[in-house]
Every structure is written in structure tokens, then in C-alpha cells.
Amino acid sequence: MKFMATKPPSPPPTPPSRAPARDDGDSVVMERRPQKTQPPQMYQVVMLNDDYTPMEFVIVVLQEFFSKDREAATQIMLKIHLDGKGVCGVYTRDVAATKVEQVLDAALKAGHPLQCVSEPVE
Ligand code: TYC
């Protein structure tokens, strides 16, 4: 008795799309792949309000570590003061972590309880 194969033979594998596909002539065609690289996850540095850190110190920190001019730094400081927290800037993970370190270090050295954290942006 003869048995039939249950599956038809599969087609030959397609060549990798990066490989040059040759046509009948001598020309070489390079195929373009769609861009797959994702943008990096971004992190926002959030500063928290407290009752003891002087407003002026927060303004100077925002100018020094977050490159804000005095006007923008004052607005951010006031937002934090009124709302309890505020975003100082958005960066890649390592840069955000460095900013947090710089702020905490400056606050510690000056004897202020200023706190800030970094968190992933949605
Ligand atoms: N609330 C502080 C005060 O009245 C000022 C302040 C603002 C502190 C922002 C921390 O992240 C802060 N002196």
C-alpha cells in the first residue's frame, strides 16, 4: 500500500532581506528594511515640596542643574510649592539619575531636606 504525504512540500526559504537580490542582469538591488529601533524610555525628574528648603535654593538648583533661566526656575519652584511636586526636566534614564544625584548631593551639603526622584514617562 502507498501512503500520501500529509503536507505538500514547503516552498524554498526566502533569502534574508539584507542580502542583495540579483536580477537576471548584472545589477544589484538592495532592499530597504523598515526602521525598527525604538526611541529610548524617557524619565522625568520630579522635585518634591517640603516646608524647610528655602525658595531661593530651589531656584538656584533649577538654574544650575536643569538649565532653567531665573524666570522659568521661579515658575517651577512656585508650582512645586503650591502643588506639592513638579517636573524639572525629561531625560534618558542615566541622565535623569545623574540629575537626581546632583540635586540630592547639593541639598545634603547645604543642609536642606529637598527631595527629588526620577520616574518613567508614560
Ligand atoms: N515650600 C518651601 C518654602 O516655603 C519652598 C520649596 C519649593 C521647597 C519647592 C521645596 O521643591 C521645593 N520655603
Task: Take residue 7 and report the three cell numbers written for it.
Answer: 503536507
Question: How confident is the model at residue 88, as a pLDDT?
Answer: 98
Give dist(CA 53, CA 71) in Å, integer.
19
24: cell is: 537576471
Residue 76's pLDDT is 98
50 CB near ligand 1 (under 6 Å): yes
Q: What confidence score (pLDDT) does residue 12 get?
A: 53
How much is the pLDDT for 54? 98
Torsion of CA 41, 68, 79, 58, to 10 degrees: 110
Please list the ranges in the chain whose pLDDT falls under 50: 1-6, 14-19, 21
Q: What is the pLDDT of residue 35?
A: 81
Specify the residue with its C-alpha closest to ligand 1, atom 5: 55
121 CA distance to ligand 1 centroid (A)?
Answer: 24
Give me the pLDDT at residue 85, please: 98
Torsion of CA 93, 94, 99, 103, to 10 degrees: 100
Q: Which three cell numbers stand for residue 5?
A: 504525504
Question: What residues does 47 pair with on adjacent strands?
Answer: 86, 116
| 3-class DSSP state of 99 | helix
Chain centre distance of CA 78: 26
Task: Name the residue at shortest CA distance from atom 7 of ligand 1.
Answer: 81
